Chains A and B, each alone.
Chain A
Amino acid sequence: MGYGALVRIAQSLLTLLAMSVLVFVAIYLIGNPIELLVPPQANQAEMARAAQALGLDQPLPVQYLHFLGQALKGDLGRSFTSNAPALTVIFERMPATLELALAAALIAVGLGIPLGLWSAFADGHPASRATLGLATLGFSMPTFWIALLLVMVFSVQLEWLPSGGRDASATLLGWRTSLASWQGLAHLAMPACSLALFKLALIIRVTYAATIDTLRLDHVRQARARGLSPARILWAHVLKNIGAPLLNVIGLEFGALVAFSVVTETVFAWPGMGRLLIDAINTLDRPVIVAYLLLTVVLFTLINLAVDIACLAIDPRLREARGR
């Protein structure tokens, strides 16, 4: 396991390196940020000075190597627009996004797994079919549309919930979060629900499919033949077996929630990382974009590592295969 983990970490670092090259080159191709950074009336000399100050006059490989050298020291550059360190800019926005992603993941997992299991156990029942049908509908509908629909109903017509923004005035364990106050939760409810809906639908379908397959297996029949209670069969002979595939899906989807909640954050004016990215792309704020994408890679790598380790704990056959 120790060796396997080392290999995994080395792989992750290589992925990170490859990603940094890709991101850097791609951003370079998009355009020269100087034209957006200097006032429109600036002359050639001023533009050259600005480019020199930001290091943009160097050839691409030199720029990249400089960036890499700084990155190894933990410095991903300063935002062109705010002049604050890119990482600081991102980390300021991270709690809002994490909070939103966490709330959405809790809704999706907390409802999705029980509903998926239940649909499989009650397979063929009209309510089970209805659940699966709604789940299919759930991931057929675009997120932004769901979001607008929620705003229409709960903010405009019923006037129950605020249509956007975040209220993180209350603190919980020293963290300013919207989870600690009713006002905060009211602001969080709609973005979290609209973000969760797609994931919820996905988790219901995945859980249902895995459970249906597992229920047909001999060891479940054998468990019934041994007179085990339905609860015991559900926990030890179904959930444990579908745990590994389910964790893989949940892990990746959580990563996607954190990294790509752009649309939802935009619709609800949620001050998270997603909106930061959009702003950075609009102003060609290269250090922020690069730092953001690299952080996303780190996030996915860490989640994958965590899922792998969790799966090793669940399924002894995997331990065997890795140990050799």
Chain B
Amino acid sequence: MNDASITATPPALQVSNLHITIERAAAAPLTAVEGVSFRVGAGEVLAIVGESGSGKSLTAMALPGLHQHPVRISHGSVRLEGVELIGQPESALRRVRGSRIAIVLQDPLTALNPVLRVETHLVETIRAHRAIDREAARSLAMAALARAGIPEPARRLRAWPHELSGGLRQRVVIAMALVNEPAVIVADEATTALDVTVQSEILREVERLARGTRTAFVWITHDFSVVDRIADTVCVMYAGQVVEQGPATEVLAHPAHPYTRALLECIPIRQQPGHRLHQIAGSPPLIGAWPAGCRFAPRCPRAVDVCRRDPPRLSTPDGMTDSHAVRCHDPVRA
């Protein structure tokens, strides 16, 4: 990420100061996501971590402009390979969706149309973006299935979605995302619905793909063990804001925000056997009902008066790595 060569070519995806609001009929719009910024280079994996309601899925859908009324991007910039997407007309966005930026949704059981064969899904995705005949598209489709780690791709191509297992279906969805060799794949909780062994296989595949095909991944998850496995960089979101971001190894080893720290302590595998598993007291605030001051303050064991009064800024305190930032008045020192 600090490689000098990357600064010459634009990053695969650069998001700056993204604000997402939810319009309301007879009231001021609610701000659901506030000032999110990150960049992902080719072949990198960025994980966005947060609980439900933290704004991570809204962010994911907004990247290729897939948010729908009443959700709106009120401010900010999303640059895909250096090209600004915000403000582009729908027709222009349609050209990049599925070709330069692809999305993998959470539930593989519903992401495929039950009345279309696997082949139709892949071929229509290819032919929406490239003027090639059906046969050529078919062989590309087969190659994509193979790349997504599906055995016997020729046979799977003829299958109906209901004939495949959850793991295979998610691989088909990933193949669909890969098929036009996009610069960025956004995966929203893509392994959450799968059992642990299948999840592990899929993550291995994603790692291989990121390194092998130089595809950038934005991996949305609530699970820090996934971050541990595949992420190069990580954004931790809480109540619509990034509360901590930086290189994954750095954040995992030296979590500076009390929220990140608390999340890490919730993972069973990181705890000594015999110790009671941690949990975070209280529940996250609802969209629009953000507390004044620091949004985590009501649940924070370290909160003092200033936390409840002044909203903290995202910054890099002394003694921390440059690329590591935290939104806290009193960050945890390792």
- B111 / chain A contacts, CB cutoff of 8 Å: 218-219, 222
Q: B113 contacts A223, CB within 8 Å?
A: yes
24 A-B residue pairs with CB within 8 Å = A218-B105, A218-B110, A219-B110, A219-B114, A222-B105, A223-B113, A224-B66, A225-B103, A225-B105, A226-B97, A226-B98, A226-B124, A227-B94, A227-B125, A228-B94, A228-B125, A229-B94, A236-B116, A240-B113, A243-B115, A314-B115, A316-B160, A320-B160, A320-B162
Asked if A129 lies at the interface with its beta carbon under 8 angstroms from chain B, I say no
Q: B120 contacts A236, CB within 8 Å?
A: yes
Asked if A315 lies at the interface with its beta carbon under 8 angstroms from chain B, I say yes
Which residues of A209-229 are within 8 A (CB) of B? 217-219, 221-229
Partner of A317, one of B114, B125, B173: B114
Asked if A66 lies at the interface with its beta carbon under 8 angstroms from chain B, I say no
- A241 / chain B contacts, CB cutoff of 8 Å: 113-115
Q: B128 contacts A227, CB within 8 Å?
A: yes
- A314 / chain B contacts, CB cutoff of 8 Å: 115
Q: B105 contacts A221, CB within 8 Å?
A: yes
Asked if B176 lies at the interface with its beta carbon under 8 angstroms from chain A, I say yes
Kindly state the separation between the CA atoms of A219 and B114 in the bound complex, as whole angstroms.
9
Query: Which residue numbers of B lie inside 8 Å of A, CB to CB?
Result: 64, 66, 94-99, 102-103, 105, 107, 110-116, 120, 124-125, 128-129, 160, 162-163, 173, 176
Which residues of A194-247 are within 8 A (CB) of B? 217-219, 221-229, 232, 236-237, 240-241, 243
- Among residues of B, the one whose C-beta sits closest to the C-beta of A223 is B113
Check A227/B113 contact, CB under 8 A, given A221-B66, A222-B103: no
- B94 / chain A contacts, CB cutoff of 8 Å: 227-229
Kindly state the separation between the CA atoms of A236 and B116 in the bound complex, as whole angstroms.
8
Kindly state the separation between the CA atoms of A218 and B107 in the bound complex, as whole angstroms.
8
Which residues of A228-270 are within 8 A (CB) of B? 228-229, 232, 236-237, 240-241, 243
Q: B124 contacts A317, CB within 8 Å?
A: no
- B112 / chain A contacts, CB cutoff of 8 Å: 219, 222
- Shortest C-beta distance, B325 to chain A (Å), equals 30
- Shortest C-beta distance, B158 to chain A (Å), equals 11
Interface size on A, residues (CB 8 A): 23
User: What 3 pairs across the A-B complex have the smallest Cβ distances?
Assistant: A227-B98, A226-B98, A227-B97
- B107 / chain A contacts, CB cutoff of 8 Å: 218
Q: A232 contacts B114, CB within 8 Å?
A: no
Having A219-B110, A225-B102, A316-B160, one finds 17 other A-B pairs with CB under 8 Å, namely A218-B105, A218-B111, A219-B114, A224-B66, A224-B97, A225-B64, A227-B125, A228-B98, A228-B125, A229-B94, A232-B124, A240-B113, A240-B115, A315-B115, A316-B115, A317-B160, A317-B162
Kindly state the separation between the CA atoms of A57 and B115 in the bound complex, as whole angstroms.
59
Partner of A316, one of B66, B97, B162: B162
- A219 / chain B contacts, CB cutoff of 8 Å: 110-114
- Shortest C-beta distance, B188 to chain A (Å), equals 10
Partner of B125, one of A217, A221, A226: A226
Q: B129 contacts A227, CB within 8 Å?
A: yes
Partner of B99, one of A227, A243, A316, A320: A227
- B113 / chain A contacts, CB cutoff of 8 Å: 219, 223, 236-237, 240-241
- A218 / chain B contacts, CB cutoff of 8 Å: 105, 107, 110-111
Q: Which of A218, A224, A227 has most B Cβ within 10 Å?
A: A227
Partner of A217, one of B98, B110, B124: B110
- A227 / chain B contacts, CB cutoff of 8 Å: 94-99, 125, 128-129
Kindly state the separation between the CA atoms of A223 and B102 in the bound complex, as whole angstroms.
11
Kindly state the separation between the CA atoms of A228 and B160 in the bound complex, as whole angstroms.
20
**Quick one: CB contact mask for A52-72 with B, threshold 8 Å, 1 for yes?**
000000000000000000000
Q: A226 contacts B128, CB within 8 Å?
A: yes
- Shortest C-beta distance, A88 to chain B (Å), equals 44
Which residues of A286-324 are within 8 A (CB) of B? 314-317, 320
